[in-house]
Amino acid sequence: MLWLSDMKQITRRWTYRTLTSVLYLAGTLCLTLFVLAKLHQTIASELALNAIDERTNAPLKTLPDTSKTPSSPLSQLTLPKPDKSDWSSARKTRFEVATLSKPIGKILIDEISLEAPIFEGDSELNLNKGVAKVLPANHTRHSSNLVIAGHRDSFFRRLGVLKNGAIIHITMADGKEHTYQMTNHWIVKPEDTWVMAEVSQDVLTLITCYPFYFVGSAPERYIVRAVKRLPNQKQG
């Protein structure tokens, strides 16, 4: 029966080595995917910031007067939207990626070395490339409360470091610059949507998940509230 005992030992060794190799390969694959995702995020963010800088710094051009020029039939053509009812989820995803939204501005917070593009709508695609302007259902497009959301494990990682008085700059794609000064912060539940409500003055509300290093779906939200400063207003 000695040979049977030897066979069991050989089998155990082979199983152990195989399992070790599989776990090693799985770990390497996960690490590679993580690095590629971070690289894609960095590249997408840089491209969006460059696009904003080009649009805000571009010199104004004198456009020719086309009021008396007959319009081309092609210029009046409206492209039809595709019927996606029979599309697979993979095809829908490819279509969405092919029609990526352009950044509407950028946020700059020198105190935490943050510069990120702002996109319209808090889709996962936008949040992976930058931060996102959130428009609650009861808001108008020109709301007094500018709400911007970001992931706690990327662009808003150091949001909790900010203290009252911190300066936050928002530059829109049309070149308009807005400066806000932090006045408060809260830790709230996800259902506490009052932080996004209209207020009597122009404010900026930054939202991210909390705790910052929580593993899994975070149970709370970290809120930064900043008030818009008037031009030439001194910091105080």
Q: Which residues of 156-189 are buried (b: 16+ CB within 10 A; e: fewer)?
A: bbebbebeeebbbebbbbeeeeebbbbeebeeee
Cβ(210)–Cβ(224) below 8 Å: no
Active site residue 209: yes
Active site residue 142: no
Residue 26 dihedral angles phi and psi, to the nearest 5°: -65, -40
From the candidates 30, 40, 139, 151, which is the catalytic residue?
Answer: 151
State how far the Cα of 217 lies from the Cα of 215, in Å rounded to an integer: 7
State how far the Cα of 167 lies from the Cα of 172, in Å rounded to an integer: 16
| Catalytic residue list | 151, 209
